[in-house]
Structure 1
């Protein structure tokens, strides 16, 4: 991956196999593929395109994931949510720790933004640090410090 501050890509990418955990498959033979489009410098966030053929399976999330359905349709459900159909243009957010039963109807293609979550105390400490930095450093010094850190 590039270390440029601005990266561009296209959704017309070559996908590679990304098999679904066999014990998660409920019905059918869903075949999943993906391509990572971008990744944050700290490795905690990434954007990918993912597609899957027809089937039903469980999915267990150990990160936050925001999904934009690009093509096709899915039906999602879990113990607290009745079966709900999502189609191209729909956005879904799965929190770290979520579980969903997926039913891919035919084929689905999605754009996903995934982020590993940090302990609450670490996020709070970072917000306090950034707030103090904003208060104590004038804007031009913050920009200079930021530029020096990226060199």
Structure 2
């Protein structure tokens, strides 16, 4: 799965949605071969909520160990529920994220992600340019 090929499955709501991200059923995702740099990571994801106009979405993602390229077209906030990953940005700086950490990415961020220990995260993506997709 390309990081831009996710299909909407969640129902938009007007007022509130209560979820337990760690308990969401995840759907297998197929990374493109050019995205995988090392290992054979298994990706799973799901949408949890989509705003009525499609400009905001939350969801859950899980990946087994491996190293891959990642491009995020939209603003993303991710909360790590489990695991450990190292994110290396184009300028060479790296951050290590573990359970309990939260990270904010600006739109058009390109990086490499090394999943050290299977990660399970909850994310929110937003766009000012129309509908989002992950």
TM-score (norm 1): 0.73
Match of 2:13 in 1: 3
Residues 64 and 117 in structure 1, CA contact (< 8 A), matched pair in contact too? no
Q: Aligned pair 1:93/2:114, yes or no? A: no
Q: Which segments of 5 or more consecutive residues in structure 1 lack a partner in the other structure?
A: 120-151
5 Å matches for 1:2-151?
2-11=12-21, 12-118=23-129
Q: Distance in 2 between matches of 1:62 and 1:108?
A: 21
Q: Which segments of 5 or more consecutive residues in structure 2 lack a partner in the other structure?
A: 1-10
Q: What does the per-residue CA deviation read over 1:62-113, in whole Å, with 9 as the maximum and x for residues that have no partner?
A: 1111111110000111232433211111111111111111000120011100
Q: Distance in 2 between matches of 1:90 and 1:4?
A: 29
Residues 56 and 125 in structure 2, CA contact (< 8 A), matched pair in contact too? yes
1 or 2, which has the higher helix percentage?
A: 1
Larger radius of gyration: 1
How far residue 2 of structure 1 moved from its aligned partner, in angstroms, is: 4.8
- Local SS of the residue matching 1:23: helix
Q: Which has the bigger relative contact order, CA under 8 A and spacing at least 6?
A: 2
Q: Distance in 2 between matches of 1:55 and 1:77?
A: 14
Between the two proteins, the alignment pairs up a number of residues equal to 119
Match of 1:144 in 2: none
Residues 33 and 52 in structure 1, CA contact (< 8 A), matched pair in contact too? yes
Q: What does the per-residue CA deviation read over 1:33-64, in whole Å, with 9 as the maximum and x for residues that have no partner?
A: 01111110100110001000000001011111
